[in-house]
Structure 1
Amino acid sequence: MPPRPCGSLPQTVTISFSYHRHACSSGKRYSMPIITIQQGPQPVERKRELVQRITEAMVEAYGLPPESVQVWIHEVPADSWGKAGQLTCDK
């Protein structure tokens, strides 16, 4: 199989999240999740949909206000990460 051109989309998406406690103006405390996604470059329309769906899922699953959910997307080009001793774009 010929190597993929550098800059093509990696096959892996990593999602992690952490919680930070936050007090709103009423004094009620709630968790503020930060969801971090590491992936290959994607079109902005796809990222908008991803952020919307992740936010909706966190609101539904944890009963959090949507404004408390943060989604950070880190795009990593195929020539900037590797596996098993090779750049992803060289596989």
Structure 2
Amino acid sequence: AIAELLDNAIDEVNNGATFVRVNKFTNPRDGSPSLLVQDDGGGMDPDALRCCMSFGFSDKQSDAFIGQYGNGFKTSTMRLGADVIVFTQNQKNW
């Protein structure tokens, strides 16, 4: 499941990202373990984020990208825990 999240971040390297970070920390509210995956890729606008949360949607058309089927993010986050929070921005919504 963690590999799927890393694959998505690494795909952004093909779009110009210069770093991918993974941090494990303890949630200060309830002491539960949390995982933070960051990259400085292109980000998503609100429509792209909605599509990202829909099963079977992928805009990755090239073989250069790891995920092409549109299920990795959703299934990996469901396996890792009860909640996922996505923070994203792109040049359109700065």
State whether TM-score is above 0.5.
no
TM range (shorter): 0.3 to 0.5
Higher helix fraction (1 or 2) = 2
State which structure, 1 or 2, has the greater radius of gyration over its C-alpha atoms.
1
**Structure (1/2) with the larger strand percentage:** 1
Which structure has the higher relative contact order (CA within 8 Å, separation 6+)? 1
Scaled by the length of structure 2, the TM-score of the pair is 0.38
